[in-house]
Amino acid sequence: LVTRMRAFGTTIFAEMSALAAQTGSINLGQGFPDTDGPAAMLDRAVQAIGAGANQYPPGPGLMELRRAVSDHRAAHYGLDYDPAGEILVTVGATEAVAASVLALCEPGDEVIAFEPYYDSYAASIALAQARLVAVTMRPQAGRFTFDPDELRAAVTPRTRAILVNSPHNPTGTVFTRDELTLIAELCRERGLIAITDEVYEHLTFDGVEHIPLATLPGMRERTIMISSAGKTFSVTGWKTGWICAPPDLVTAVQTVKQFLTFTASAPWQLAVAFGLRHELDWVSALRAGLQDKRDRLMDGLEAAGFSVLRPSGTYFVQTDIRPLGFEDGLELTRRLPELAGVVAIPTQVFYDHAERGRHFVRFAFCKKDEVIDEAASRLKRLS
């Protein structure tokens, strides 16, 4: 294995899901729902296979999906993207991020990301031989946010791009218009490309709405906007995502994507196109249901003695473990199966400055109510 990848080892999600399987613990670690996506959309995938959608789609993706994405962007956000040239279907958001970073960065270039950050960012940046510059988000008035001065100070002449993930995994923060405005100003002033990971775009709570960075003045022309069907339609195993960007950026990303995967699987594309056109009410119900699950898990975690931060979006709750007398989240999560029969994710692995996340642990609430209740009751053993 090349030197630059050695530090990555096995992802925390693989490690913790294996631990859950080995110990028979409840898995509130890896974020995947334990119920299926909309039935008609699942049927559409089966039909697509029966009807022969089984050969290579064109590199940019099937036109049916690109059109559905374009119409959805327009209806939902007032953003116009041309299905021919401004939309590229990818193998999940993961490939979209990797191909974007590989397309933009020369060795030694810098990419800013907010820590704690989704683990594939650091690996994609390392593959490009670029450097991740982490700007730390810290809890302030009940939500994780960043210091504008730290963000400004992170930009150097080598900065090529900024990766913005909102709604943010693993903190649950939905960036406000003020926060996005600051990021947009910096991108415009310093000539940066924004790569926006918006996989949780529809999963926001308490009336908080997701604002795509590309809708801010001057940003559409410099943003690679990334989405995925995985979270929107509870089909994380379908690995179907897409980017929307101006033609020059799409061409750059597609040049790389051609040699990573060439194209994405056909049947899912047709089914996701159907989902975007016909299942948005299902998505609204999912969102309302997830908000209840968030509250349910938060109540359970509080009753078990954790200090809990209220997320405005995503699948995840952050807890501070110090009220329970623990200090190190990695140590606690490795022992949690034995202590309580539950698996969670140590937030510190998503930091460059691990000590800043040492006492945080992430729990996922995208699970059946009875699973959440059982986990909450087991976690009471900790106090």
Residues near ligand GLN (CB under 6 A) are 11, 13, 30-31, 169
Mention every residue, 6+ apart, whose C-beta is less than 8 A from residue 336: 25, 342, 343, 344
Read off the tokens for 266. 């056909």
Q: Residue with CB nearest ligand PMP?
A: 92
Q: Under rule CB under 6 A, how many of the chain's residues touch ligand PMP?
A: 14
In the bound state with ligand GLN, the residue whose beta carbon lies nearer, of 31 and 275, is 31
Instruction: Identify the residue among 27, 145, 173, 236 touching ligand PMP (CB under 6 A).
Output: 236
Stretch that binds ligand PMP, among 56-64, 92-100, 132-140, 357-365 (CB under 6 A): 92-100
Among 124, 165, 234, 291, the residue binding ligand PMP under the rule CB under 6 A is 165
3-state secondary structure the chain: CCHHHHCCCCCHHHHHHHHHHHHCCEECCCCCCCCCCCHHHHHHHHHHHHCCCCCCCCCCCCHHHHHHHHHHHHHHHCCCCCCCCCEEEECHHHHHHHHHHHHHCCCCCEEEEEECCCHHHHHHHHHCCCEEEEEEEEEECCEEEECHHHHHHHCCCCEEEEEEECCCCCCCCCCCHHHHHHHHHHHHHHCCEEEEECCCCCCECCCCCCCCHHHCCCCHHHEEEEEEHHHHCCCHHHCCEEEECCHHHHHHHHHHHHHHCCCCCHHHHHHHHHHHHHCHHHHHHHHHHHHHHHHHHHHHHHHCCCEEECCCECCEEEEECHHHCCCCHHHHHHHHHHHHCEECEEHHHHCCCHHHHCCEEEEECCCCHHHHHHHHHHHHHHC
239 binds, among ligand PMP, ligand GLN, none (CB under 5 to 8 A by kind): ligand PMP
Q: Which does 254 bind (CB under 5 to 8 A by kind): ligand GLN, ligand PMP, none?
A: none
Select from ligand PMP, ligand GLN, none the partner in contact with residue 143, using the beta carbon and a kind-dependent cut-off of 5 to 8 Å.
none
Q: Of the two residues 103 and 340, which places its CB atom closer to ligand PMP in the complex? A: 103
Measured from the CB of residue 143, what is the shortest distance to ligand PMP in angstroms?
17
CB of 73 to ligand GLN, least distance (A): 22
Least spacing, CB of residue 362 vs ligand GLN, in Å: 8
Contacting residue, 27, 30, 94, 254, with ligand PMP by CB under 6 A: 94
Backbone phi and psi for residue 245, each to the nearest 5 degrees, phi listed first: -165, 165
Nearest residue (CB) to ligand PMP, 165 versus 379? 165
Among 92, 172, 313, 357, binds ligand PMP (CB under 6 A): 92
User: Out of ligand GLN, ligand PMP, none, which partner does residue 179 contact, by CB within 5 to 8 A per kind?
Assistant: none
Q: How near is the Cβ of 281 to ligand GLN at its closest, in Å?
A: 25
Binders in 191-210 for ligand PMP, by CB under 6 A: 197, 199
Q: What are phi and psi for residue 350, nearest 5 degrees?
A: -95, 15
Q: Select 30 or 173, whichever has its Cβ closest to ligand GLN.
A: 30
109-128: which residues touch ligand PMP (CB under 6 A)? Answer: 118
Q: Toward ligand GLN, which CB reaches closer, 70 or 333?
A: 333
Tokens of 6: 């050695």
241 lines the binding site for ligand PMP (CB under 6 A): yes
18 vs 153 by CB, closer to ligand GLN:
18
Residue 27 interacts with ligand PMP (CB under 6 A): yes or no: no
Q: Which does 11 bind (CB under 5 to 8 A by kind): ligand GLN, ligand PMP, none?
A: ligand GLN
Whose structure tokens read 């080598």? 158
Phi/psi at 161 (nearest 5 deg)? -150, 160
Cα 324–Cα 325–Cα 326 angle in degrees, nearest 5: 95
Q: Tell me whether residue 11 or residue 129 sits nearer to ligand GLN (CB atom).
A: 11
- Closest to ligand GLN by CB, 20 vs 62, is 20
User: How far apart are alpha carbons 160 and 142 in whole angstroms?
Assistant: 32
Closest CB 175 distance from ligand GLN, rounded Å: 18
Residue ranges binding ligand PMP (CB under 6 A): 92-94, 118, 165, 169, 197, 199, 228, 230-231, 236, 239, 241
